[in-house]
Structure 1
Amino acid sequence: MKTYALLLSASALAINWAGSAWAQTNKNEDAQMLETVTVTAQRRSENLMQTSISASVITGEQLSNKSVVKVDDLQFVAPQITINNFGQGINFNIRGIGKGEHNTATLSGVITYRDGTPTFPGYITEEPYYDIAAIEVLRGPQGTFVGQNATGGAVFVTTNNPNVGGSYDGYVMANVGTYGDVGAQGAVNIPISDTFAARVAAYVERRDPFYEVTNNGANYKGLSALQHVAGRLSLLWKPNDRWSILFKTDVGYLDNGGYAAGPYYNLCRNYTPATYIAANNNSTIVGSPYAIGCNSTTPNPQYTGDPLKFTANDTNKGLDKFTRSNLKIDYTLGDGTVIRSITSYQIGSTMYQTDLDGTDNGSLITYFDTATSSRRKNVLWYDRVNESIWTQEINIISPSDQRVTWVLGAFAQADRYNYPKPWSLVVDTPAGAVPHGDPLDGVPATPTQFKMQGSNPQAAWAVFGQIKSKLIWGLDAEFGFRWSTQRTKNDLDITQADSPIDPATHQPIPLLSRQSTKSYSFDYKAALNWTINENHYVYGFVATGYKPGGLNVPITAASQDTKTGTPPFGPERVMSYEAGYKGVWLDGHLRAQVDAYYNTYDHFQVSIGYPDYPTIFYEKNTTNSTIMYGYEAEFEAIFGNLSINAGLGWLHSSVGEFWTTDPRAPSVYNTTFGALPLPCDPVTGPNFQAYQAYYGAYGIADGWRSFDHLGNSTCHNLKGHPQSMAPSLTANIGVEYKFDIGGGDALTPRISYSHTGPQWATLFDNRNYGDRIGVRNLINAQLSWQHGEYIVTAYGTNLTDSHYVAAMNANLAWGGPPRQYGIRLLKVF
């Protein structure tokens, strides 16, 4: 609470001081006022301060001032946003809801729209921000207008349109910085005729990796530089006042270089490895597996204390490519009603390869093979996935100047993931072949491999609408709805380490996944709003959101059956209650947004151990609600030449009851009678009855009892645990002052601070396994000199050079960007 009070006091003090300074120094001046901020998420341009939406809006100019150049940076300029970036996979969460599972089966709960089109859900999100008009970050479920995959919120990115009737204008910007960072971007408007214009924009950047990686004591050669190239062509035709036809095509080649990471235990001074336990029926198991890991007195030989320093011995690569085309057609009827069509088609490809154990000398997380008792040294990952998306949306939008306004819409989407042949998704633990080295004990381990090929087609349809009516005394009521349906099916071939071998070809016989499933949802938003006057607005609403269900791949040969096999998982839903206040103060110099919310999060999709095979994962819905509530506050102020922005968010979350096995904890194997991990039922917990039956088949009535206490320590009830990727406190503040230095020139220093509280990477909340992601306190600063059409900016990010953990996945800790500084030149023409 002291931290919260300190941050609130600091923000209030800054605003009060700013107000006093403005009053003293600008009494006789026409002080600058805040500009009106608009949002377009509800399919029309609306004043943010008079809509029942919690949102942060960042203009194109503010992106540069606030050092926002990619999606990761949004979490440092707006409250309640958490982004965990582990390569091409990005977990984007708003108010603790979004994506907490690291797999393609679980869809994202925060969807990104670009120029009115929903984009790839969770991948290719590192598309750079250039030639941007505005970014709107909407908090809370957006089930009415956005639909599926917006349980946490939505991001609307709008790029600059051509200017019909304008001139040849635009900008060029170039930068150089540390880590060999060199970049350039620009855009130009091309007036072709009085009714037709084009705009061309481009972006390029090249940067060295941040990591200090070695391989057997030498510099590691498996990393390459980041190289991003992107471009956009926009065409706008307005033949008359009624028609507007806008076409945009974006292309991108996003080579992320080697986005690598080391194991979490590199950050532990002391560490004792986790091992699978090979035992016979007479063994006595002592101690709890949760006493191992970083809770140890044994010195760690691989300690670096730095998430950017580690070893590796397999290549790291990451390449995304995409093309996206949008066609937006508006026709305005005589009474002002707009009929709109938005059509899009996009193709993307992502390729990712990494050293999944993050070492060159064998993982300290040792996995014992029951036959050879040898430790497997490497875990390798490779995937290549293609995705194509077609969308079509139709809107009918009433005029905005009526007592009753409304929107009707229909939406359709076809989406296909394709894992090309042959076997383009592979997880492997090789048995000592070069360059992977020999196992630590010199005994070749049995190779284990998971491979997949095939496709996953999906389709979605929806109809939606909203009506808003002005009542009396400044009151208005609105109701919106959306009916959605989604279908998905698998056409996948899968081989696993235990797949049977074809005696004729000596190759594994694939397991087949040919299942399908459907999801349906009716979402709504009902709000009552009060416009007290033109400067003060109060709202309250209840809204819902929905994320579709999906399919699990087969776990055993028996699970290939579409009726009795591994079951699909269902949709998850959010019910949100929110009340807020928006106000403009001090004659338009101070703007504030404050809100509080309460969410019930039902059927949360989580990866758990399969009940009979806890070391193998499948997706399941929790049976009890997760409760989440919190508040947010945002302030913007401008007093003469002084500008301030600040945000604060607090969140509490509590997971509903369910049981699951932590896959990182040792499982029990019996070398006499075969391998049998202890089953863990999601509803009832440890399934000792299964063990009893297993041993009973061998005539050993009480053999299972020796594993009783171990089952209690590996099968966990997660009731009351906080939601993953949901820090309790987020805050940010930025201050700048413009000094007029004569001759029309200006010097503007800006400093900003952002705080993201500690969070948990998994629902198990186990510090010994690296689950706790620590505090992120980042300071950025810049100094800009404006001279006519030129602006020269010296900038620095993460000035304290904090080497923090930006994401956790598969026992690896990904480090966030270290301190960077450089210089940027902008010319506007």
Structure 2
Amino acid sequence: MQGSNYHRQALMRGAALPLLMLSATPAFAQDASAGNSDPRAAQQPLGNDVVVTATRRPQTLLDVPLSVAVVSGDALDKMGVRQFNDLQSGIPNLQIDQTNGNFVINMRGLGSGGGNLAFEQSVGFFVDGVYSGRSRSLQTAMMDVQRVEVVRGPQGALFGKNTDAGAISVITAAPTRDFQGRVSAGYEAVNNGWNAEGYLSGPITDTLSARLSVQGGHAGGYMYNRATKQDDNGNNYLGIRGQLLFEPMKGMSAKLKVEYGKNDYKGNNLAFNGLGTSAIANTIRAASAPYGGVPEYPSFVRVADSTYGRGFSRTETLGVTLTTNTDLGGGVQLTTIGGYQHIKANTETDIDNSPLTLIDNLHIERTTQISQEARLSGSIGKLSLIAGLQYYYAQSHIVQNVFWNFSPALRGPSVLPFDQKSESISPFLAANMELLPGLTIDGSVRYSDETKQARMQMLPGGPASFRPYDIRAKRHEKLWDYSGKISYKFSRLGQVYVSYATGSKGGGFVANDTQLGNTGKYQFDPERAKSWEAGVKLRGEHGVYDLNLAVFSTNFDNLQVSSFNGTSFVTGNAAKVRSRGIEVEGNVRPVSFLSFGGNVAYLDAKYRSYNGPCIYNQTCPLGYSDLSGYRLTRAPKWKWSAYGQVDAPLSGDLDFTARGSVNYTGLTNYQDTQNPATMMPAYTTVDARIGITNKAHGWDVAVVGRNLTNKVSWSQAFGVPFVGGATAVFVNPSRTVTFQVSKNF
């Protein structure tokens, strides 16, 4: 292996060995109450007494009749989680992939994929109650977080927009009435990265509190490029968040939050997974020979260069949120949440992934969204009610420039502008009643009225085989979502429940498709989900153990999909899809200083009816293949993790902490063509942490290792256009070992 990364990796194997010996999914520590944002507070591993707001009401995990996973901010910090996709390793049936700055989220095998740049996710993402319509905004969410709630299954009635596969809710740490702060810094020794972050929180006056959070750093590049002698896909990042909490009187508060984030990736993380034997493939081999040859299978090495310069992905986000809570008397509470978000993104990708300048893609995006929600909550006897109204508006301008440099027939840029406006309004109602001691029913309903209008273009000047087009279109949809649950708490430490829920996501338009002028297929229909779930939740006396079990079956009609056909991504609807499976989560604390546990998920997610892309290496006279019975993309059959954690006193004020995890992901397909080159084999990763804490003085030193076995995996796979038989993948990060120190005050 060559390059600076390789020398550093060799030096760090010795440091990684003790972490490997301890590894046995991280114990996701949880806050004992929703209001506790002090990272100095005592933390416990996964426990059913943690308070969540997944049902719009504060409930413990033991009481909420849903399949919910919660990760505290303290646990995120201890395991060095700064990227959103690192969440998935300890949460059953959650798949998060990052591809060129965008995130693709699948839950229980269901999601929208990343092929259409205008796709909204089927798993809704919320930060402090504000829905984020573009996945790029996920890059700045993991700073000074109180907790993350992952709610599996359709949540359309409660959460609203685009949650037909599930919802992820990030709750950031709020201003406090007492003065507190924290600073931390870390050095990542394998890829030469660093990070620094901190916060200050406390009162300004008797009625006004503030919190300032800052995060910055550099994630070192982990893909050594032999052509440029650089480490590609490094990221410089910065996040700043300021909050003011105004409490003029008891029962009234207003919180203003302003947040800015920036991510700047330099170089791409593309690698080949088979190059093929075409004439162009042989040309790439010849051009790569002076650099030691082209790596034809995924590794942390690439050989790529382009006259358009080094690839990059830059994203800037600006968000403003205003949340108010007012006690109207008589047990009635008024909550309002207003949000503004602006995203600016530019991405350049060397698609051919070679020293030649054959295909380059420049993607430009500007998106602005505004949302407002108001809801009333209260009780009438044993009946609890929530009624609300949600408004959402978004405007996007996306331009894709594809630079072709093959033959004269395949030369010149394809310029594809896409403009869309989306507006929706949705009233909702939720009710909860205890019929008998321990026996409770829940119900909710939401009506959504959504309008979208778009202009899709491909300007003249590209390859002759791509017909220019200019299409204007409008959609108007009215959708209903509802849910019902019945739960029985047979003891103070046990509950069973059964639920039925529906969810929907509106239709939309195809963005930046070079083939649209030939196919004329420029829009797709709404998708709808219907899901049954049953579960049991148990907790031992004094929290000795926790056990959660859920079984589910979800049917999707018109699942929105995007599959690569060899030239471009084709967007449409899969007529019928079924996802069913089992999720088990548990942990045991036999003694005060030791805990261990894990989770396992089995998933059977298949197409029931879908005329999709032509299957790899099969004749396709009709231009499509019947994919009924085939597994969905990003839906591994098995996924499990196991962890062990030790928190033991050393002497005086010193405590020793160690935790390790083993995370397994089964065979995962990334394209419906069933091409073996787009199927990622099953793999296992190992993470670990060793630290010493001084509680009296508030400091902590630790070594954190992620992917300690340096396993190669990827987050997307596609055929390289016009390079017959070649497949490219986006490679996930390599091993990291971080030395970090923190101080609370």
CA contact (8 A) 1:142 1:545 kept: yes
1:544 aligns to 2:555 (yes or no) = no
Counterpart of 1:450 (choices 393, 403, 414) is: 414
Query: How far apart, in 2, do the equivalents of 1:259 and 1:176 lie?
Result: 23
Residues 621-673 of structure 1, C-alpha deviations (whole Å, 9 max, x = no match): 233x21110010111333311122411111001202333334987xxxxxxxx
CA contact (8 A) 1:231 1:250 kept: yes
Query: How far apart, in 2, do the equivalents of 1:654 and 1:341 lie?
Result: 40
1:248 aligns to 2:257 (yes or no) = yes
Q: Structure 1 residues 474, 710: CA separation in 2 closer, same or farther (over 3 Å shift)?
A: closer
Bigger mean CA deviation after superposition, 223-232 or 51-60: 223-232
Q: Structure 1 residues 713, 46: CA separation in 2 closer, same or farther (over 3 Å shift)?
A: same
Counterpart of 1:85 (choices 74, 98, 119) is: 98
Query: How far apart, in 1, do the equivalents of 2:351 and 2:198 lie?
Result: 38
Query: How far apart, in 2, do the equivalents of 1:319 and 1:488 lie?
Result: 27
1:46 aligns to 2:51 (yes or no) = no
The residue that corresponds to 2:76 in the other structure is 63
Bigger mean CA deviation after superposition, 58-67 or 225-234: 58-67
1:484 aligns to 2:448 (yes or no) = yes
Query: How far apart, in 1, do the equivalents of 2:553 and 2:278 lie?
Result: 41
Query: How far apart, in 1, do the equivalents of 2:423 and 2:577 lie?
Result: 29
CA contact (8 A) 2:514 2:568 kept: no
Helix, strand or coil: the match of 1:52?
A: coil
Q: Structure 1 residues 87, 567: CA separation in 2 closer, same or farther (over 3 Å shift)?
A: closer
The residue that corresponds to 2:593 in the other structure is 641
Helix, strand or coil: the match of 1:515?
A: strand
Q: Which has the higher strand share?
A: 2
Query: How far apart, in 2, do the equivalents of 1:557 and 1:173 lie?
Result: 50
The residue that corresponds to 1:784 in the other structure is 691
CA contact (8 A) 2:455 2:471 kept: yes
The residue that corresponds to 1:751 in the other structure is 660
CA contact (8 A) 1:544 1:576 kept: yes
Query: How far apart, in 1, do the equivalents of 2:526 and 2:279 lie?
Result: 35
The residue that corresponds to 1:594 in the other structure is 549
What displacement does 1:716 show?
A: 1.9
Query: How far apart, in 1, do the equivalents of 2:505 and 2:343 lie?
Result: 22
CA contact (8 A) 1:260 1:354 kept: no
Helix, strand or coil: the match of 1:62?
A: helix
1:571 aligns to 2:515 (yes or no) = no
CA contact (8 A) 1:517 1:551 kept: no
1:626 aligns to 2:543 (yes or no) = no
CA contact (8 A) 1:448 1:496 kept: no
CA contact (8 A) 2:298 2:729 kept: no
CA contact (8 A) 2:116 2:511 kept: no
Q: Structure 1 residues 738, 660: CA separation in 2 closer, same or farther (over 3 Å shift)?
A: closer
Query: How far apart, in 1, do the equivalents of 2:188 and 2:567 lie?
Result: 46
The residue identity in structure 2 corresponding to 1:340 is T
Counterpart of 1:461 (choices 414, 417, 425) is: 425
Query: How far apart, in 1, do the equivalents of 2:483 and 2:475 lie?
Result: 27
Q: Structure 1 residues 557, 470: CA separation in 2 closer, same or farther (over 3 Å shift)?
A: closer
Helix, strand or coil: the match of 2:657?
A: strand
Q: Structure 1 residues 163, 402: CA separation in 2 closer, same or farther (over 3 Å shift)?
A: farther
Counterpart of 1:176 (choices 187, 193, 203) is: 187
CA contact (8 A) 1:553 1:566 kept: no
CA contact (8 A) 2:295 2:303 kept: no
Q: Structure 1 residues 512, 733: CA separation in 2 closer, same or farther (over 3 Å shift)?
A: same
Gapped runs of 5+ residues in structure 2? 1-22, 28-43, 282-291, 720-726
1:532 aligns to 2:527 (yes or no) = no
Determine which structure has more spread, i.e. the larger CA radius of gyration: 1
Query: How far apart, in 1, do the equivalents of 2:260 and 2:293 lie?
Result: 46
Counterpart of 1:316 (choices 311, 315, 318) is: 311
Residues 507-541 of structure 1, C-alpha deviations (whole Å, 9 max, x = no match): x9962121111222101101111111211111001
Counterpart of 1:801 (choices 694, 704, 710) is: 710
Helix, strand or coil: the match of 1:50?
A: coil
Gapped runs of 5+ residues in structure 1? 1-9, 15-30, 277-299, 362-376, 432-442, 502-507, 666-708
Q: What is the TM-score with the length of structure 1 in the denominator?
A: 0.77
What displacement does 1:454 show?
A: 4.9
Query: How far apart, in 2, do the equivalents of 1:448 and 1:652 lie?
Result: 45
The residue that corresponds to 1:734 in the other structure is 643
The residue identity in structure 2 corresponding to 1:515 is A
The residue identity in structure 1 corresponding to 2:159 is V
1:417 aligns to 2:333 (yes or no) = no
Counterpart of 1:650 (choices 594, 602, 621) is: 602
1:230-245 → structure 2 map (5 Å cutoff): 230-245=239-254
Query: How far apart, in 1, do the equivalents of 2:623 and 2:438 lie?
Result: 58
Q: Structure 1 residues 584, 772: CA separation in 2 closer, same or farther (over 3 Å shift)?
A: same
What displacement does 1:807 show?
A: 2.5
Helix, strand or coil: the match of 1:743?
A: coil
Helix, strand or coil: the match of 2:112?
A: coil
1:661-680 → structure 2 map (5 Å cutoff): 661-662=613-614
What displacement does 1:186 show?
A: 0.4
Helix, strand or coil: the match of 1:711?
A: coil
Helix, strand or coil: the match of 2:86?
A: helix
CA contact (8 A) 2:377 2:387 kept: yes
Counterpart of 1:193 (choices 180, 200, 205) is: 205
Calculate percent identity across the aligned residue pairs: 22
Helix, strand or coil: the match of 1:145?
A: helix
1:140 aligns to 2:92 (yes or no) = no
Counterpart of 2:382 (choices 403, 410, 433) is: 403
The residue that corresponds to 2:438 in the other structure is 474
Residues 685-741 of structure 1, C-alpha deviations (whole Å, 9 max, x = no match): xxxxxxxxxxxxxxxxxxxxxxxx943496322111101000111111221112211
Q: Structure 1 residues 715, 35: CA separation in 2 closer, same or farther (over 3 Å shift)?
A: closer
Q: What is the TM-score with the length of structure 2 in the denominator?
A: 0.86
Helix, strand or coil: the match of 2:508?
A: coil
What displacement does 1:304 show?
A: 4.5
CA contact (8 A) 2:106 2:634 kept: yes
What do you get for the CA RMSD once the two structures are aligned? Answer: 2.9
The residue that corresponds to 1:438 in the other structure is none
Bigger mean CA deviation after superposition, 145-154 or 534-543: 145-154
Query: How far apart, in 1, do the equivalents of 2:46 and 2:413 lie?
Result: 62
Query: How far apart, in 2, do the equivalents of 1:557 and 1:238 lie?
Result: 56
The residue that corresponds to 1:113 in the other structure is 126
Residues 589-647 of structure 1, C-alpha deviations (whole Å, 9 max, x = no match): 2111100000111111223699xxx9665432233x21110010111333311122411
The residue identity in structure 2 corresponding to 1:123 is R
Q: Structure 1 residues 539, 32: CA separation in 2 closer, same or farther (over 3 Å shift)?
A: closer
Q: How many residues align?
A: 681
The residue that corresponds to 2:733 in the other structure is 817
Helix, strand or coil: the match of 2:509?
A: coil
Query: How far apart, in 2, do the equivalents of 1:793 and 1:451 lie?
Result: 49
Q: Structure 1 residues 54, 444: CA separation in 2 closer, same or farther (over 3 Å shift)?
A: same
Q: Structure 1 residues 402, 265: CA separation in 2 closer, same or farther (over 3 Å shift)?
A: farther
The residue identity in structure 2 corresponding to 1:449 is P
Query: How far apart, in 2, do the equivalents of 1:775 and 1:331 lie?
Result: 51
CA contact (8 A) 1:511 1:557 kept: no
The residue that corresponds to 2:475 in the other structure is 517
CA contact (8 A) 1:191 1:197 kept: yes
Helix, strand or coil: the match of 1:126?
A: helix
Query: How far apart, in 1, do the equivalents of 2:206 and 2:301 lie?
Result: 58
CA contact (8 A) 1:411 1:462 kept: yes
The residue that corresponds to 1:353 in the other structure is 348
Query: How far apart, in 2, do the equivalents of 1:798 and 1:86 lie?
Result: 19
1:773 aligns to 2:671 (yes or no) = no
The residue that corresponds to 2:12 in the other structure is none
